[in-house]
Amino acid sequence: MDIFKDIWSYFSKYTGGFEAYGIIRLVIDLLLISFLTFSAIIFLARKTKQSAMRKILITFIVVILIVFLMDLRIMQELLRESISILIILFIVVYAQEIKTFLGFYVRSKNHKGLLNSEEKKDRLINTLISTVSYLSRRSIGAIITIEKDNSLNAYIEKAIYLDAEVSFELFSTIFTPGTPLHDGAVIVRGNRAMCAGAFFPSSDKYDIPKSLGSRHRAALGISEVSDAFTIVVSEQTGNISTTIDGVININISLDDLRMSLKQNILLR
């Protein structure tokens, strides 16, 4: 009974004698705690956390503002008691994501092979078109990611390092079924293939057609966390798809691909 009296006394003091504004503030306080608890469970249960990074940071800032502007004392007490634990837990759970997230906003300092003329750009586009056409006709699965402003070093470092000039022979060899690098992505920086066998975070969107496989989800995943442009060739149908800014374009023509490449391959 003493416990209930203490709780009643605390709520009475919190709400200023159960005044209307005090009750509203208490309800908001409790709802906010429930919302954050539920959200934490959902985020931690996700297999891919990359797309949640920005949402978590924005949500945390908004919550802090609400808590202190409305003087939500329960939340304030919880934050004071657990803020250090929450920060440590966040760093542990999202260690790789934090590294990658920060890396995306640092432009690569390696200018080797970057395009500096329309001639080089046209040559690269023609090579990519001929390669994708060859792979598509034979239904050879492939994923080719073109780095733009956001550095993809976090993925290059974990893949098979190449730093080789982009060529039809190189790509057709890499994506030949049965080879060790067949399933991963090639990352292109300028006119050079920086690596092969790169693996990206899979998109956790629910509205992706079930007919699309792991390559398409990976291509969509990297487009959700960077400005990279990715080409995917389906192993089942030979269809060509592209991803950019979290959007996937399915079954496009070579002419459409050429137009997209002209828009997304940058000159330095």
Residues 35-60 pLDDT 10s: 777 766 666 555 444 555 566 667 77
Please give the angle made by the CA atoms of 191, 192 and 193, to the nearest 5 degrees: 130
pLDDT in tens, 1-20: 566 565 666 666 666 666 77
Q: pLDDT band at residue 23, thresholds of 50, 70 and 90?
A: confident
Tokens of 130: 């001929």
Looking at residue 109, what is its pLDDT? 47
Write down the mean pLDDT value for the chain.
80
Looking at residue 48, what is its pLDDT? 47
- What's the half-sphere exposure (Cβ side, CA atoms, 13 Å) at 96? 10
**Quick one: 37 exposed, middle or buried, by C-beta within 10 A (0-12, 13-18, 19+)?**
exposed
102 or 153: which leads in pLDDT: 153
The position carrying tokens 């990519």 is 128
Long-range contacts of 250-255 (CB under 8 A, 24+ apart): 250/209, 250/212, 254/129, 254/132, 254/133
Average pLDDT for residues 242-267, to the nearest whole number? Answer: 93
Q: Does the pLDDT at position 72 exceed 90?
A: no
Q: pLDDT band at residue 139, thresholds of 50, 70 and 90?
A: very high
What HEC string does the chain produce?
Answer: CHHHHHHHHHHHHHCCCCCHHHHHHHHHHHHHHHHHHHHHHHHHHCCCCHHHHHHHHHHHHHHHHHHHHCCCHHHHHHHHHHHHHHHHHHHHHCHHHHHHHHHCCCCCCCCCCCCCCHHHHHHHHHHHHHHHHHHHHCCCCEEEEECCCCCCHHHHCCCEEEEEECCHHHHHHHCCCCCCCCCCEEEEECCEEEEEEECCCCCCCCCCCCCCCHHHHHHHHHHHHCCCEEEEECCCCCCEEEEECCEEECCCCHHHHHHHHHHHCCCC
pTM above 0.85, yes or no: no
Looking at residue 101, what is its pLDDT? 57
CA atoms of 49 and 102, how far apart (whole Å): 14
Looking at residue 136, what is its pLDDT? 96
Q: Does the pLDDT at position 265 exceed 50?
A: yes
Q: Does the pLDDT at position 63 exceed 80?
A: no
Looking at residue 69, what is its pLDDT? 74
- Are 268 and 116 in contact by the 8 Å Cβ rule? The answer is yes
Q: pLDDT band at residue 26, thresholds of 50, 70 and 90?
A: confident
Looking at residue 208, what is its pLDDT? 79
pLDDT in tens, 159-184: 999 999 999 999 999 999 888 888 89
3 or 235: which leads in pLDDT: 235
Q: What is the CA radius of gyration of the chain?
A: 25
